[in-house]
């Protein structure tokens, strides 16, 4: 559930488009070559590897520590109590929480919009459904209803069921791709790109 909610549409959309983009315009190698293929995956792994999860982890650990060890409410402002002191219970804390809510809304809106465009594109390709804002609006409305229902039913029911279903579908998609796709190439690039990513992790992090 945490993985599904944390990555959202990012892996589904950019997980495919970013390697293709880097393959056509690689950071270091010549375009559309085997070296560019390795370069594109290494760059994508860098963007979706340890670095973003380190950012997520800092926020998660801060919230968890202050909520479960210090008995605070699960708000971003409460993690700043060592810096702001009692002011986190006043206007400064409220401002921090409002900014956190707006940042979350913007992030969800972007994911929802990109996801709706991708779903609409897939429906257009498979069934000829028009690719326009009306259809995308309907998709967003359906997703919103599913979200509201899952949120209303609680973490242990609706949200968990939807997230687990999402992960199951992703696993099925991966298995199908592995079977019908260029299996040896996929396995070869997965292992070699992972090794390249780990080997150049520090250098690329400071580049």
pTM for the model: 0.75
Tell me how many domains the chain contains: 1
- Domain assignment of residue 195, yes or no: no
Of these ranges, 99-103, 152-156, 203-207, the one predicted with the greatest mean pLDDT is: 99-103
Answer yes or no: are the C-beta atoms of 41 and 189 closer than 8 Å. yes
- Is residue 145 pLDDT above 90, yes or no? no
Does the structure show a pLDDT above 90 at 120?
A: yes
pLDDT digits (tens, 9 = 90+) for 84-97: 999 999 999 999 99
Q: Is residue 40 part of a domain?
A: no
Residue 156 is predicted with a pLDDT of 66
Q: Is residue 109 part of a domain?
A: yes
User: Is the pLDDT confidence value at 186 over 80?
Assistant: yes
C-beta of residue 162 within 8 angstroms of C-beta of residue 150: yes
Which residue segment(s) compose the domain that 123 sits in?
90-152
Is residue 114 in some structural domain?
yes
Distance CA 125, CA 121 (A): 6
* pLDDT at residue 8 in the model: 66
The percent of residues in the chain predicted with pLDDT above 70, rounded, is: 94
Q: Does the residue 94 lie in any domain?
A: yes
Of 11, 46, 39, residue with least CA distance to 207: 46
- 57, part of any domain: no
User: According to the model, what pLDDT value does residue 134 have?
Assistant: 95
Distance separating alpha carbons of residues 1 and 28, to the nearest angstrom: 36
More confident residue, 2 or 191: 191
- Is 182 a domain residue? no
For residue 131, the 8-state DSSP code is: -
Does residue 191 form part of some domain?
Answer: no
pLDDT at 1 over 60: no
pLDDT score recorded for residue 112: 82
Res. 12 pLDDT band, cuts 50 70 90:
confident
């Amino acid at each position: 559930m945490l993985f599904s909610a944390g990555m959202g549409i990012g892996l589904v959309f950019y997980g495919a488009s970013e390697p293709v983009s880097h393959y056509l315009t690689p950071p270091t190698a010549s375009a559309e070559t085997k070296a560019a293929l390795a370069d594109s995956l290494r760059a994508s792994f860098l963007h979706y590897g340890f670095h973003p999860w380190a950012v997520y982890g800092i926020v998660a650990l801060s919230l968890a520590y202050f909520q479960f060890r210090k008995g605070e409410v699960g708000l971003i402002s409460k993690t700043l109590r060592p810096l702001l002191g009692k002011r986190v219970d006043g206007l400064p804390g409220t401002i921090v929480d409002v900014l956190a809510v707006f940042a979350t809304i913007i992030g969800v809106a972007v994911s929802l919009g990109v996801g709706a465009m991708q779903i609409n594109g897939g429906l257009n390709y498979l069934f000829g459904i028009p690719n326009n804002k009306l259809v995308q609006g309907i998709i967003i409305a359906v997703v919103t209803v599913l979200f509201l229902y899952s949120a209303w039913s609680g973490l242990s029911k609706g949200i968990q069921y939807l997230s687990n279903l999402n992960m199951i579908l992703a696993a099925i998609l991966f298995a199908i791709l592995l079977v019908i796709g260029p299996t040896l190439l996929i396995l070869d690039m997965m292992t070699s790109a992972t090794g390249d990513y780990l080997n150049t992790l520090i250098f690329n992090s400071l580049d």
